[in-house]
Chain A
Amino acid sequence: MSGQKKDVYLVIGGSGFVGRHIVEQLIAREDVVSVFDIVQRHHDVPFYSGDITDQSQVEDALRRSGTTCIIHTASPTAGAKDPSIYHKVNVEGTKAVIAAAVAAGVPKLVYTSSAGVVFDGNDVINLDERAPYPEKPFDAYNESKALGEALILEASGKGGLLTVALRPAGIFGPGDRQMMVGLYQAYQRGQTHFQVGDNNNLFDYTYVGNLARAHLIAADKLVPSEHDAADWQSDTVTLTDKEQALLNTMLPSVSATTGYRRVPTCEARPLGPYVTPPPNAEKLEAAFNAPPGVRNITHPVMRSRFDQFSDNALAVAPSSPLQVAGQAFFITNGEPVYFWDFMRLIWLQLDPPGSTRADRKTLVIPRMFGMVLGFLAECWAALIGKEAGFTRYRVGYSCATRYHNIEKARRVLGYEPETGLEEGVKKMVEWFKAENNLS
């Protein structure tokens, strides 16, 4: 933010997958950053070792580092043996971080939440941030993330603290310790030509670098909002000019994977093989070569009444969805793909050159049949006392649709995914191969 004093950052969970990428991006833009974590993996920034469920330890780190902006990414990985750890870290820990921030007078707190906070086991289709937390959460992990996020959002605007929560879905990239492991196992077992379900289900993925960038943007844009809560709820909402402008521009479709090309028009086009240049040649070319950005349009964006920014939705929003403070944002790559396609892309990258593995015909197992197989496999595993690899949970997971609408993040935060799926997967697989000495 120009003209403003630069923030001093403390990344809680800065040794983790997402946290480390945030630290690296902060270092890259020459910000002052420290890390708070239970283990130290890197030695390039000041490190505070501690337990986030202990408010005094967090507070101490905040005071010693002179932090003005906390980025709280700490969370146990999903699939822990003892689910009580989730509540302890994600709820109690978050409570302690908020209390420490208020006590130390820290003005900003960015929280890494999860898209799972709205997940209840059913399909998630193009869902936006209006969705309430489910009455029956899917599991202990997602429940604890939802409780933690609620605490964070509730804390905004109180005790001099502003907060924002980011909800990524399907994080991948170099440093990943979850997605690649399972996929590599399936690859080694030669299971890559199996497909459960019809593969018409879209799934969201988020490249870790994009997510880290979203944290930085959210921190930069975390300022007191133009509408306070009371003002927003009083009678009819009048949007400021700035807010109107946020809404009434056409967002180009996300193009990180597909690449951006402007469609030529009579007002914006390359000159081509002209014999005599047109009179407005320079203007034509400049308009064509302008960066994608938002398109100003001469009529209001046409929204259906189910749209999150339709007039009727804005009128009943409990707080301004056009502000950053106190808001949650889905952050993904914005280009959901059919579930199995992403897996195939990764497996193809794992193939050594010249491999013909991908040529094998795909064996499609219908969902119902998969469920039966999963049940049998679970029984067998229970019988011989091992963990089942093929479970009903996994069948359900690979047949579910789960993707989110990131329009709010794009409009309000100005977030744009920069690294596309292909490039991101390439970076992840390269890292994975190097890490595990594969060729």
Chain B
Amino acid sequence: MGKITQMLGLLLTHPTEFRTLVHFYLYHEAKRDITSQQEHPTSGWDRASMRRCWELLDMTSRSFAAVIKELEGDLARTICMYYLVLRGLDTIEDDMTIPDGVKQPLLRSFHEKTVTPGWKFTENGPNEKDRQLLIEYDIVVEEINRLSPEYKKVILDICQKMQVGMADYAHKAIMTGTVYLDTVTEYDLYCHYVAGLVGEGLTRIWSASGKEAAWLCDQLELANSMGLLLQKTNIIRDFREDVEDRRFFWPREIWAKYGFKEMKDMYEKGDVEHATWVQSGMILDALRHATDSLDYLRLLKNQSVFVFCAIPVCMAMATLSLCFMNPEMFQRNIKIRKAEAAKLIMRSTNPREVALIFREYAREIHHKAKPQDPNFLRISVMCCKIEQWFEQHYPSFVVLSQTGPTFDPLDKRTAVMNLEKSRTQELEIKRAAANPLRNANAPRPAEMVPWELAMYVGGAFLLVGALSAAVIYVVLAVYG
């Protein structure tokens, strides 16, 4: 009932959003149903333990569960397990009620625990939202051990690298008593541990599955950029919530120069202007990863993998645009509107469209930028890099129409295309004239046939002749 009144309200206040959501509910269906009988061999839905893992996924992830389930073949189950392992690790890292002496060895051996049959962990604080996952972790262990060895190897390797990073940072906070990250370099490294590595692992799994190129897993910088864009966006959006929970991810290098002593000063001291410059500095830093992410998406071949990667980064760009120059972000948790999210999910189907989405948000951000902001020009340059990326890979002079691509006659690049076309023809004619035998090139099939045919016919004649001669010889030899 609540949902219906909500939708009715939306119809009156935001009719276009209402339309988008109706479209979404009507036309956007999941590409795959992991519960159906024919999917059981790859989704594991027929096993109680795997069914529980799928439930745990729904419990621990709002945003990723849907896209994970739509992945093809055994990728869905693999990524589900990968997610649960890292969520389990994260739940230990996050829990401030676990003393460092317990947490350190626990974190540093988590990759071993993950394959130890029967291992589970019940000592999370009562407020830890995903504590149930660790209480039932023995089921996760069981299913991890069922994964094919090449996937399992990647998941455990990434888990080990991440756990070391998390333990190092947690230990440093305890030992030095400093709660803040000082530099952007440290911030990048922290994000690499908690998100960049996830990107590396995913990419290695794509390659191992054979659904993506074998060399994709070597694109480490691009894979990390994907992770960093998502992580940094969350860190920016969750500012207030994180600060209140005493989780401080914004590096001092970006905010201390405006005179803030503590992160909470940004909403307590009433200096909205400087807080806004800090916010734009953080968003500028996140936008650094935008074109790398587009590069990554352009390398993908499998549609389900593409959609899995594209939807979250599009949401991230929308969120960055929402946060930019928005003082409300310092007061409460803001979110993109449901209809906007639905639209993005429906649109994120190919790299060109995703690049267009990126460009739209880049322009939105740019239009909100203020010249007094010390980051003003760098924001502009960053947005223009997205514009340039789009033009480099999907040039706008190519107009996609019903009848196929046409070229915009006013664009200078059309002249380039026409010039190249006429040169191609010239070269063909020139080559044909210079080398009549090899000219063969373009009209090869038509002109080659008589030659080959003549040879075949000649060969056949020879063969028949030789055979006849042999027969005559034999006949003569026997009867002669």
A84 interface residue, CB < 8 Å from B?
no
- Contact between A270 and B185, CB atoms less than 8 A apart: yes
Q: Using a CB-CB cutoff of 8 Å, which residues 232-266 of chain A contact chain B?
A: 233, 235, 253, 257-258, 261-266
A131-B415 contact in complex given A264-B188, A341-B380, C-beta closer than 8 Å:
yes
Interface flags for B367-404 (1: CB within 8 Å of A; 0: not) read 10111100011101111110110011111111000000
A78 interface residue, CB < 8 Å from B?
no
A304-B393 contact in complex given A316-B427, A348-B372, C-beta closer than 8 Å:
yes
- Contact between A120 and B377, CB atoms less than 8 A apart: no
B168 interface residue, CB < 8 Å from A?
yes
- Contact between B289 and A263, CB atoms less than 8 A apart: yes
Q: Which A residues touch B369, using CB under 8 A?
A: 341
A150 interface residue, CB < 8 Å from B?
no
Q: Which B residues touch A258, using CB under 8 A?
A: 288, 378, 381-382, 385
**Closest CB in chain A relative to B193 CB, distance in Å:** 8
A300: nearest chain-B partner, CB-CB = B215
| Contact among A273, A307, A312, A338 for B168, CB-based, below 8 A | A273
B389: nearest chain-A partner, CB-CB = A253
A202-B384 contact in complex given A125-B411, A235-B431, A422-B377, C-beta closer than 8 Å:
yes
Tell me the complex Cα distance, A264–B228, Å.
10
- Contact between B420 and A316, CB atoms less than 8 A apart: yes
Number of residues of chain A lying within 8 A (CB) of chain B: 65
Q: Which A residues touch B213, using CB under 8 A?
A: 299
A381 interface residue, CB < 8 Å from B?
no
Tell me the complex Cα distance, A312–B420, Å.
9
Tell me the complex Cα distance, A273–B363, Å.
38
**Closest CB in chain A relative to B249 CB, distance in Å:** 15
- Contact between A131 and B412, CB atoms less than 8 A apart: yes
- Contact between A344 and B376, CB atoms less than 8 A apart: yes
Tell me the complex Cα distance, A335–B172, Å.
39
Q: Using a CB-CB cutoff of 8 Å, which residues 415-442 of chain B contact chain A?
A: 415-417, 419-420, 423-424, 427, 431
**Closest CB in chain B relative to A299 CB, distance in Å:** 5
B165: nearest chain-A partner, CB-CB = A272
- Contact between A126 and B388, CB atoms less than 8 A apart: yes
A302 interface residue, CB < 8 Å from B?
yes
Interface flags for A294-306 (1: CB within 8 Å of B; 0: not) read 0101110010101
Q: Using a CB-CB cutoff of 8 Å, which residues 278-312 of chain A contact chain B?
A: 278, 295, 297-299, 302, 304, 306-307, 312
- Contact between B411 and A264, CB atoms less than 8 A apart: no
Q: Using a CB-CB cutoff of 8 Å, which residues 205-234 of chain A contact chain B?
A: 233
Q: Using a CB-CB cutoff of 8 Å, which residues 15-68 of chain A contact chain B?
A: none
Q: Which A residues touch B412, using CB under 8 A?
A: 118, 120, 122-125, 127, 131, 134
Interface flags for A338-375 (1: CB within 8 Å of B; 0: not) read 10011011011000000000110000000000000000
| Contact among B169, B188, B382, B398 for A306, CB-based, below 8 A | B398
| Contact among A263, A273, A348 for B196, CB-based, below 8 A | A263
**Closest CB in chain A relative to B168 CB, distance in Å:** 5
Tell me the complex Cα distance, A315–B376, Å.
43
- Contact between B371 and A335, CB atoms less than 8 A apart: no
- Contact between B221 and A421, CB atoms less than 8 A apart: no
| Contact among B223, B388, B417, B420 for A336, CB-based, below 8 A | B388
**Closest CB in chain B relative to A285 CB, distance in Å:** 11
A344-B196 contact in complex given A263-B188, A338-B366, A338-B380, C-beta closer than 8 Å:
no
| Contact among B189, B197, B223, B416 for A272, CB-based, below 8 A | B189
- Contact between A269 and B189, CB atoms less than 8 A apart: yes
Tell me the complex Cα distance, A263–B411, Å.
36
Tell me the complex Cα distance, A342–B380, Å.
9
A90 interface residue, CB < 8 Å from B?
no
Q: Which A residues touch B120, using CB under 8 A?
A: none
- Contact between A266 and B165, CB atoms less than 8 A apart: no
- Contact between A269 and B192, CB atoms less than 8 A apart: yes
Tell me the complex Cα distance, A265–B197, Å.
8
A73 interface residue, CB < 8 Å from B?
no
A132 interface residue, CB < 8 Å from B?
yes
B264 interface residue, CB < 8 Å from A?
no
Interface flags for B170-207 (1: CB within 8 Å of A; 0: not) read 01100000000000111011101100110010000000
B72 interface residue, CB < 8 Å from A?
no
Q: Which B residues touch A125, using CB under 8 A?
A: 391, 395-397, 411-413
- Contact between A263 and B228, CB atoms less than 8 A apart: yes
A433 interface residue, CB < 8 Å from B?
no
- Contact between B291 and A253, CB atoms less than 8 A apart: yes
- Contact between A126 and B395, CB atoms less than 8 A apart: yes
Q: Which B residues touch A348, using CB under 8 A?
A: 371-372, 376
Tell me the complex Cα distance, A15–B383, Å.
37
Q: Using a CB-CB cutoff of 8 Å, which residues 188-214 of chain A contact chain B?
A: 199-200, 202
| SS of A interface (majority) | loop
Tell me the complex Cα distance, A262–B297, Å.
20
Tell me the complex Cα distance, A295–B221, Å.
10
A335-B419 contact in complex given A348-B372, A422-B378, C-beta closer than 8 Å:
no
Tell me the complex Cα distance, A278–B193, Å.
14
**Closest CB in chain A relative to B288 CB, distance in Å:** 7
Max count, chain B CB within 10 A of own CB: residue among A123, A132, A270, A316: A316
B418: nearest chain-A partner, CB-CB = A132
Q: Which A residues touch B363, using CB under 8 A?
A: 200
- Contact between A265 and B224, CB atoms less than 8 A apart: yes
- Contact between A264 and B224, CB atoms less than 8 A apart: yes
**Closest CB in chain B relative to A22 CB, distance in Å:** 26
- Contact between A130 and B416, CB atoms less than 8 A apart: yes
- Contact between A306 and B378, CB atoms less than 8 A apart: no
A438 interface residue, CB < 8 Å from B?
no
A1 interface residue, CB < 8 Å from B?
no
B218 interface residue, CB < 8 Å from A?
yes
B292 interface residue, CB < 8 Å from A?
yes
A275-B415 contact in complex given A265-B221, A335-B381, C-beta closer than 8 Å:
no
**Closest CB in chain B relative to A193 CB, distance in Å:** 10
Q: Which B residues touch A113, using CB under 8 A?
A: none
A267 interface residue, CB < 8 Å from B?
yes
Tell me the complex Cα distance, A265–B224, Å.
6
- Contact between B381 and A257, CB atoms less than 8 A apart: yes
| Contact among B200, B384, B410, B420 for A313, CB-based, below 8 A | B420
Q: Which B residues touch A344, using CB under 8 A?
A: 371, 376
| Contact among A265, A269, A273, A299 for B172, CB-based, below 8 A | A273
Tell me the complex Cα distance, A202–B424, Å.
32
- Contact between B215 and A299, CB atoms less than 8 A apart: yes
| Contact among A128, A273, A341 for B377, CB-based, below 8 A | A341
A345-B411 contact in complex given A132-B416, A266-B197, A337-B381, C-beta closer than 8 Å:
no
- Contact between A132 and B420, CB atoms less than 8 A apart: no
**Closest CB in chain A relative to B162 CB, distance in Å:** 10
- Contact between A302 and B215, CB atoms less than 8 A apart: no
Tell me the complex Cα distance, A131–B397, Å.
14
Q: Which A residues touch B424, using CB under 8 A?
A: 312, 315-316
A320 interface residue, CB < 8 Å from B?
no
- Contact between B393 and A272, CB atoms less than 8 A apart: no
- Contact between A257 and B378, CB atoms less than 8 A apart: yes
A405 interface residue, CB < 8 Å from B?
yes
Max count, chain A CB within 10 A of own CB: residue among B192, B213, B369, B431: B192
Interface positions of B (Cβ within 8 A of A) = 161, 164-165, 167-169, 171-172, 184-186, 188-190, 192-193, 196-197, 200, 213, 215, 218-221, 223-225, 228, 288-289, 291-292, 298-299, 363, 366-367, 369-372, 376-378, 380-385, 387-388, 391-398, 410-413, 415-417, 419-420, 423-424, 427, 431
Which 6 pairs from chain A and chain B are nearest by CB?
A273-B172, A265-B220, A316-B423, A126-B391, A264-B192, A344-B371
Question: Can you sample 12 A-B contacts with CB below 8 Å?
Answer: A125-B412, A257-B381, A261-B185, A263-B196, A263-B221, A265-B196, A268-B220, A270-B185, A274-B168, A315-B424, A316-B424, A337-B377
9 additional A-B pairs beyond A258-B378, A335-B384, beta carbons within 8 Å, are A123-B412, A125-B396, A199-B366, A257-B378, A295-B221, A298-B218, A315-B424, A316-B423, A344-B371
